Amino acid sequence: MTVPGPDGPVAVSPRDVVAACLPDPATLGERMHGKTCAGTWVRGVRDGKPREVYLYHVVDNQWSMAEYGCQAVVWQTAVNPVVALELLASGAWSGAGVLGPEAFPARPFLDLLTAYGSPWGMREQ
């Protein structure tokens, strides 16, 4: 897109214009209030019966800012690999080859989230 400039037309990206008008996200954390929730809705069969559950993880922004100096969404994203690495280092999770988190038992992961002060819940659908 081309816009008039003091020395003639200037090529600009609409994305860059919008970004220039917005505040720096790193400065917003102290002003944000509320909680963020990330979850997964799982449908499948267990013991031959259909089952649906919603597993979710809630983080309060004011808590994460006070405890860790970062926004809830940032903390919520960062804590998961930290917990996984801790479980691997302690031997609670182990295996050979390339394994995703779903290859390991969930309870140690969820318990460690709780130990870090981050509640989770599960709701039957």
Give pLDDT tens digits along the chain (125 positions). Answer: 787 888 888 888 888 888 888 887 777 777 778 898 999 999 999 999 999 999 999 999 999 999 999 889 889 999 999 999 999 999 999 999 999 888 999 999 999 999 988 889 999 98
Residue 19's pLDDT is: 84
Cα–Cα distance between 110 and 39 in angstroms, integer? Answer: 13
- The SS3 of residue 43 is strand
- The SS3 of residue 33 is coil
Provide the CB-side half-sphere exposure for 12 (13 A, CA): 14
Cα–Cα distance between 37 and 58 in angstroms, integer? Answer: 4
Residue 42's pLDDT is: 92
pTM (two decimals): 0.70
